[in-house]
Amino acid sequence: MRGGLPLFRFKGIRVLVHWTFLLLPAYIAFMGWSEGTAMTEILVEIGLVMIVFVCVVLHEFGHALTAQRYGVGTRDITLLPIGGVASLERMPEDPKQEFMITVAGPLVNLVIAVLAFGLIAITGISLLLTDLFNDITSWNAVLSFLVMSNLGLFLFNLIPAFPMDGGRILRSLLSMRLPRERATRIAAGVGRFLALGFVAYGLLEGAPFLALIGLFIFMAAGAEAKQVAQQSRMRSILVQDVMKMDPLCLDQAMDLQSAWNQLTFGEHQVLMVLDQGRYVGLVGREELRSAMVIGSPGTLVALARKVAPVHSTDPALPVLQRMMAEGVPAVPVLVAGSATAVLTRDRLMDAFNSQLADKR
């Protein structure tokens, strides 16, 4: 569901309209036409739906601009016929930040409703309970429509059907007390249960959009729960689960050809350079090969790269991020204080990839 027609940009955030959004006015026009509704009334209905979507955009900006305050960017806001989606680069794992970002959207709708209600109260005319279609062109009718629709958006979004706003609020509140994975599992379970309710109600009562929203929520809740579970499994991998014990250790005075022979004989990816048994640095297979190709003379000490060691009990994910940032293919591992193992980027990637593929 990515991409769409760009509408405008505000504070660096693009607002897009997905092509399926056009199905909405088309659907309203078709329903009106098939029931013999007057053209003006159909246009009014479409206009009212567009007003709702302006409020939806403001709601999404509530999320996006709050996220900006926590340094989280938003790629774009996309309008779909079932609502708006702000594509945040990430959701902060700090439950307080997730709570603030999430609650900001529905609060925008509450503020619009209160402001519109205030305007009605000031002008002294209450059309709040009158039939909208009897007097749609009046200013007060539009205001009362704003009150009703925004109260509706506010309450609907607070339904704890994860990953709807209410579900995210529930998850953030739970994860103040519980591990994030468990909190997500609970919120996703509640979300899927409610989503099935939406689908059933939508099908039985002839509300196809509600059924569609239910289906969407059901799938999205499962996907996000799975993603969080994967993240927490990846985080549970320690350096000692992936490291290679007994790496090839060679003295710094060894010439490159002999080192290459030993490296290829043992099918190692990396070798550890030692000076009288003490760790000096690492040499990767590629670096050694390049040095051989250009025919550099000399010994291993010239190639040894002093990569700072990690501990065997460290979590592996930050180590991978560090290796990527420093551009090193391996790090030495301290086991009980001395460098006696190596962790290569390839082994780490394999370990993480197998966690991703694992559909437990």
Element (H, E) at 174: helix 165-174
Does residue number 165 form part of the binding site for Zn ion (CB under 5 A)?
Answer: yes
- Identity of the residue, 161 or 237, whose beta carbon is nearer to Zn ion in the bound complex: 161
CB of 189 to Zn ion, least distance (A): 21
Question: H helices then E strands: how many in the chain?
Answer: 12, 11
Give the pairing of strands 13-17 and 5-10. Answer: antiparallel
In the complex, what is the shortest distance from the CB of residue 10 to Zn ion, in angstroms, rounded to a whole number? 17
Q: CA geometry: angle at 153 spanning 89 and 38, to 5°?
A: 120
CB nearer Zn ion, residue 110 or residue 301? 110
**Closer Cβ to Zn ion, 84 or 281, answer by number:** 84
Residue 266 neighbours by CB distance under 10 Å: 10
Q: What is the DSSP track for 79-141?
A: EETTEEEEEES---SSHHHHHHHHHHHHHHHHHHHHHHHHHHHHHT---TTS-GGGSTTSHHH
Least distance CB 165 / Zn ion (angstroms): 4
CA atoms within 13 A on the CB side of 48: 24
Least distance (Å) between residue 142 CB and Zn ion: 23
Between the CA of residue 111 and those of 59, 72, 299, what are the distances in Å?
10, 24, 72
Restricting to residues 169-208, which ones interact with Zn ion according to CB under 5 A? Answer: none
Q: Which is nearer to Zn ion, 15 or 342 (CB)?
A: 15
Q: CB of residue 195 vs Zn ion: minimum separation in angstroms?
A: 16
Q: How far is the CB of 169 from Zn ion (least distance, A)?
A: 10
Shortest separation between residue 342's beta carbon and Zn ion, angstroms:
47
Choice between 45 and 165, CB closer to Zn ion: 165
Q: Which is nearer to Zn ion, 59 or 185 (CB)?
A: 59
Give the range of 133-141, 143-151, 160-168, 307-315 binding Zn ion by CB under 5 A: 160-168
CB closer to Zn ion, 165 vs 224? 165
Q: Is 336 helix (H, G, I), strand (E, B) or coil?
A: coil
Q: Which is nearer to Zn ion, 64 or 242 (CB)?
A: 64
Question: Which two three-digit tokens encode residue 116?
Answer: 């519109």
Q: How far is the CB of 59 from Zn ion (least distance, A)?
A: 5
Give the CA angle between residues 147, 151, 155 to the nearest 5°. 175
Q: Which stretch binds Zn ion (CB under 5 A): 70-78, 108-116, 162-170, 282-290?
A: 162-170
Q: Which residues contact 331 (CB under 8 A, 6 or more apart)?
A: 282, 307, 308, 309, 310, 319, 322, 323, 342, 343
By the rule CB under 5 A, 167 interacts with Zn ion: no
Phi, psi of 327 (to 5 degrees): 70, 35
d(CA 59, CA 112) in angstroms, rounded, equals 10
Q: Give the residue at shortest CB distance from Zn ion.
A: 105
Tokens of 137: 């062109």
Nearer to Zn ion, 108 or 259 (CB): 108
How many residues touch Zn ion under the rule CB under 5 A: the total is 2
What's the closest the beta carbon of residue 82 comes to Zn ion, in angstroms?
A: 12
Nearest to 170 by CA among 181, 179, 159, 154: 159
In the complex, what is the shortest distance from the CB of residue 338 to Zn ion, in angstroms, rounded to a whole number?
53
Pick the stretch among 157-165, 237-245, 289-297, 336-344 that binds Zn ion (CB under 5 A): 157-165
Q: Are 279 and 271 in contact (CB under 8 A)?
A: no
Phi, psi of 37 (to 5 degrees): -70, 145
Regarding 163 and contact with Zn ion (CB under 5 A), the answer is no
What binding mask, one character per residue, do residues 92-131 give for Zn ion by CB under 5 A, x or -? -------------x--------------------------
Between 31 and 114, name the residue whose CB sits nearer to Zn ion.
Answer: 114
> Could you list the residues that contact Zn ion (CB under 5 A)?
105, 165
